[in-house]
Amino acid sequence: MKLTELFQRGEFVVTAEVGPPKGFHIEHLLHEVETYLKGRIHAINVTDNQSSVMRLGSLAMCKALKDIGVDAIFQITCRDRNRIALQSDILSAALFGIENLLCLTGDHTTLGDNPQAKPVFDLDSVSLLQMVGKLESGEDMAGNPLDGEAPSFCKGAVVSPCSDSVDVQLAKMEAKVKAGAQYFQTQAVYEPEKFIKFMEKAKQFGVPVQLGIVIPKNVGMVRYMNDNVAGIHVPPEMIEELKADKEKTKAGITGVEISARIIRECKDYCQGVHIMALGWESKIPDILKLAGL
């Protein structure tokens, strides 16, 4: 099902994210999905060689999720493919019945485990959204007609609401809406007050936004994000909360409590939540319960 149908019905849309393995054995990941996520969330994002680390392809993993009755969101980045390959993969997604896309520019190859790889970036996230719209009109980017019925997707994009450059993020958001974005998932939010202020300005675009949650696992993780991930700031009091009881933090209880609290504080200002568990998929049911979802 397209996420747009859920938003239009007024549902608070809950999605999660999984990263394919560095190999082709997916039994464990499918078990995690069936045990902790299926029936509790609306759809699952599949990352596309996240952080430029080579893994099983997003499209193949989306198909595997579809086969077990789980709606998948095909994350597709511009880093590794030119416009020919991007269009081909999107048509392949349509063949597999995958209706939801998340269109991303992608991290540079120098950040990953194959830094010598040549980046492509033939398109960016805005032109990628435009390209999907072109396919939906029945033509490829070059204006050549497609055979048969044109594909139809729910097209998503990302935004960083807690960035220091709020006006820049709003301008990027506007450009993506004009290019065809129908919903947004945000970068991880740890400062609810910043998110709420951003959403007051972003509501002018009339597009649903899902609050992004990355479960804070430990002090080292959040300090790394503060130092290296643009658009994320974990406040000192939250770091102290993670420090306070090391056993509780190690067990994931503190991270679950923080995540649920952020959702509770923000859910009246957004249309859904997107949880990036980074291997802690087993914690998602507890987060949803504590958040009252």
Q: What is the pLDDT of residues 100-123, one digit of tens each?
A: 999 999 989 998 899 999 999 999
User: Are 156 and 102 in contact, with CB atoms under 8 Å apart?
Assistant: yes
pLDDT, tens digit, for every residue of 13-62? 999 999 999 999 999 999 999 999 999 999 999 999 999 999 999 999 99
Distance CA 189, CA 261 (A): 11
Amino acid 212: pLDDT: 97
Amino acid 164: pLDDT: 84
Q: Which residue has the tokens 């102290």?
A: 240
Q: How many CB atoms lie within 10 A of CB 111?
A: 12
pLDDT, tens digit, for every residue of 275-289? 999 989 999 999 999
pLDDT, tens digit, for every residue of 225-283? 998 888 899 999 999 999 998 899 999 999 999 999 999 999 999 999 999 999 899 99
Amino acid 231: pLDDT: 84
Amino acid 33: pLDDT: 96
User: Are 25 and 201 in contact, with CB atoms under 8 Å apart?
Assistant: no
Amino acid 160: pLDDT: 95
pLDDT, tens digit, for every residue of 126-175? 999 999 999 999 999 999 999 999 999 999 999 999 998 999 999 999 99
Count of positions (residues) in the chain: 293
Would you state the CATH architecture of domain 3-291? Alpha-Beta Barrel (3.20)
